[in-house]
A and B are shown apart, each in its own frame.
Chain A
């Protein structure tokens, strides 16, 4: 891509390139402060899981990074572009380098699944209709949906299929970064495991960086390279999930050593 690659940091981070760099982010709704001086780095090619209790602003963080929510203070760099204050043109360009899959899909209800996936291609590229259809159905097949669902409308799909279709749309422009908001919420365990596997496969095949807000311990153990815990209005701790059990904080302890966490851990090791 353009020569905007970030300068690798010295010391331990020498090999890693931060694709998202959040610094001193403060988010506030009225008197309620959601984030205060939050710092976070997302490295290229990793799957980062964002966890935290209800109301700690996980989704707000995601929405802020992709520009749907204007923070009170702080800076956010994505692929070396300042997405908050950078020039409009740069920001528009960077939008094509990420894909967002919203919690319940947020598919356009008046378009079929295939048309939904083709919508970003139609908007941002000049390729022919037939190639657009071919790439659209390729993405639909990549996310594991049958071709039969191409002509269906979002209202005719189940929740799990809608999530997959949303992922296909997010992948339409072959983004470098994919944001997933609670990708497995509301799916049955089999569907959720299949979705985890899918994310893992796509991440390997397409070299994606995945930013995932989740509650699902199974997903964390199965596919996340790193976990960032949001608490006390900031990223309380980040690192590989194995290290989380050693963190001395009541919420983190309860979350990662509770009965569900232990079960998920065993399952994760079986894989």
Chain B
């Protein structure tokens, strides 16, 4: 590739500017500055392009821009040695040079940052109102479904229960089992120091039944099923399936949201219960191996010192968690706009928000129950 060159020769009656070589985008870097800084010191400039081997729009832009600036400086410009095709190209390019070229936006300033904080705050408030509205709508349809149970889509409900409940059993059970093991193991090391090994039973049963079993199950379900809800309804939204439903007189809330929320309301308590049992099993096994607490003794102490209330407190929370996960996932799905990218963003947001809300709700329940003295 011949590098392009630009040389200026004083002539008898002006300046002859010789441009030669391959004036194409790929090779402009070397002459770009020479072109940009060129200032004519004569009233007559002849652009001699005879030596140009090839020209593309990038090169034509440089030539057109140069000619334009020379003209603006009050000099006369003449082109020399152009083929018809080249002069047509330069003509086309100079026609199309925008008066006010667009630019890449500058890096964000402090003001932009402040503005974006403001916009986010307003957005968060609007989102809160919108999600509360959606919660109300869902509850209304839920009540209507209870009053008119034949409106419930049973096939959808069963398939959702299989997806969110049945298929989640292995991971939830394994998780519960491991939590039990960890608690027993950690508890044992501490309790041994006081010779109070036997209290490991209460440690495991109360923490698993009351808090950890259901909380961790809800977190797993939020990650597993909440994301699936948002992704599937969200992509339906992108493909205008939701709009199609509305035009056919179908209520998307009733068709899509209710089966999912009801499925969660049914399966989350069951999954939580499975996690509880698995947690007790894991804890019992570990206490037996590590501390020599026999299964018989474990069960006896469990019966004596851990009331049924501990289990009940855990279970009471389950439907609330289910509602929060289902409503947030479906609401996020309904916020999907336009592109596939939006589905991804909303799915992430759905998981983060529902896990956060589940933990916050759990904290509120803890305060409530301790005030109530249970």
B131 shortest CB reach to chain A, Å: 24
Chain B CB within 8 A of A114 CB: yes
Asked if B96 contacts A121 (CB within 8 A), the reply is no
Q: Which residue from chain A places its CB closest to the CB of B97 in the assembled complex? A: A138
Measured between alpha carbons, how far is A142 from B99 in the docked complex, in Å?
13
Chain B CB within 8 A of A247 CB: no
Chain B CB within 8 A of A36 CB: no
Contact among B88, B97, B102 for A114, CB-based, below 8 A: B102
Asked if A142 contacts B54 (CB within 8 A), the reply is no
Residues of B within 8 A of A112 (CB): 104-105
Stretch at the interface among A19-27, A51-59, A73-81, A124-132: A124-132
**What string of 1s and 0s marks CB contacts (under 8 Å) between A102-121 and chain B?**
00000001001111001001
Contact among B33, B54, B61, B88 for A134, CB-based, below 8 A: B61
Q: Which residue from chain B places its CB closest to the CB of A131 in the assembled complex? A: B32
Total cross-chain contacts (CB, 8 A): 96
Asked if A206 contacts B56 (CB within 8 A), the reply is yes
Residues of A within 8 A of B105 (CB): 112, 151
Asked if A174 contacts B58 (CB within 8 A), the reply is yes
Asked if B102 contacts A148 (CB within 8 A), the reply is yes
Stretch at the interface among B22-30, B159-167, B327-335: B22-30
**What string of 1s and 0s marks CB contacts (under 8 Å) between A70-101 and chain B?**
00000000000000000000000000100000
Chain B CB within 8 A of A155 CB: yes
Chain B CB within 8 A of A140 CB: yes
Q: How many residues of B contact A (CB 8 A)?
A: 33
- For chain A, the bracket of interface size reads 35 or more
Contact among B25, B26, B29, B89 for A205, CB-based, below 8 A: B89
A18 shortest CB reach to chain B, Å: 20
Residues of A within 8 A of B32 (CB): 127-128, 131
A82 shortest CB reach to chain B, Å: 21
Measured between alpha carbons, how far is A134 from B54 in the docked complex, in Å?
20
Measured between alpha carbons, how far is A135 from B24 in the docked complex, in Å?
12
Chain A CB within 8 A of B57 CB: yes
Chain A CB within 8 A of B341 CB: yes
Chain A CB within 8 A of B74 CB: no
Contact among B33, B36, B93, B341 for A138, CB-based, below 8 A: B93
Measured between alpha carbons, how far is A150 from B101 in the docked complex, in Å?
8
Residues of B within 8 A of A226 (CB): none
Q: Which residue from chain B places its CB closest to the CB of A130 in the assembled complex? A: B36
Measured between alpha carbons, how far is A124 from B28 in the docked complex, in Å?
12
Measured between alpha carbons, how far is A133 from B57 in the docked complex, in Å?
14
Measured between alpha carbons, how far is A109 from B344 in the docked complex, in Å?
13
Measured between alpha carbons, how far is A109 from B338 in the docked complex, in Å?
12
Asked if A134 contacts B89 (CB within 8 A), the reply is no
Asked if A109 contacts B97 (CB within 8 A), the reply is no
Asked if A151 contacts B58 (CB within 8 A), the reply is no
Chain A CB within 8 A of B65 CB: yes
Contact among B56, B99, B102, B341 for A174, CB-based, below 8 A: B56
B219 shortest CB reach to chain A, Å: 31
Asked if A150 contacts B26 (CB within 8 A), the reply is no
Asked if A151 contacts B102 (CB within 8 A), the reply is yes
- Known A125-B29, A173-B26: A138·B61 in contact at CB below 8 Å: yes
- Known A141-B97, A147-B101, A205-B88: A155·B26 in contact at CB below 8 Å: no
- Known A1-B54, A109-B339: A147·B26 in contact at CB below 8 Å: no
Asked if A205 contacts B92 (CB within 8 A), the reply is yes
A257 shortest CB reach to chain B, Å: 36
B63 shortest CB reach to chain A, Å: 13
Residues of B within 8 A of A159 (CB): none
Asked if B89 contacts A140 (CB within 8 A), the reply is no
**What string of 1s and 0s marks CB contacts (under 8 Å) between B27-59 and chain A?**
011001100100000000000000000101110
Chain A CB within 8 A of B108 CB: no
A44 shortest CB reach to chain B, Å: 13
Residues of A within 8 A of B339 (CB): 109, 155
A264 shortest CB reach to chain B, Å: 28
Contact among A113, A125, A135 for B57, CB-based, below 8 A: A135
Chain B CB within 8 A of A169 CB: no
**What string of 1s and 0s marks CB contacts (under 8 Å) between A163-177 and chain B?**
000000001011000
Chain A CB within 8 A of B107 CB: no
Chain B CB within 8 A of A184 CB: no
Measured between alpha carbons, how far is A150 from B92 in the docked complex, in Å?
20
Asked if A114 contacts B65 (CB within 8 A), the reply is no
Measured between alpha carbons, how far is A124 from B57 in the docked complex, in Å?
16
B91 shortest CB reach to chain A, Å: 8
Contact among A1, A109, A131, A137 for B28, CB-based, below 8 A: A131
Chain B CB within 8 A of A35 CB: no
Chain B CB within 8 A of A207 CB: yes
Give the 4 A-B CB pairs with smallest separation, nearest first. A150-B102, A174-B56, A137-B101, A126-B29
Chain A to chain B contacts (Cβ below 8 Å), 29 pairs: A109-B339, A109-B341, A112-B104, A113-B102, A121-B25, A125-B25, A125-B28, A125-B29, A127-B32, A127-B58, A131-B28, A133-B102, A133-B103, A135-B57, A135-B61, A138-B101, A139-B57, A141-B96, A141-B97, A142-B93, A147-B102, A150-B101, A155-B338, A173-B26, A174-B25, A205-B88, A205-B92, A206-B57, A206-B89
Given contacts A125-B26, A138-B96, 15 further A-B contacts (CB under 8 A): A109-B341, A112-B104, A112-B105, A133-B102, A134-B101, A135-B58, A137-B102, A138-B98, A139-B57, A140-B98, A141-B98, A142-B57, A151-B105, A174-B56, A201-B92
Which positions in A face B, CB cutoff 8 Å?
1, 96, 109, 112-115, 118, 121, 124-128, 131, 133-142, 147-151, 155, 171, 173-174, 201, 204-207
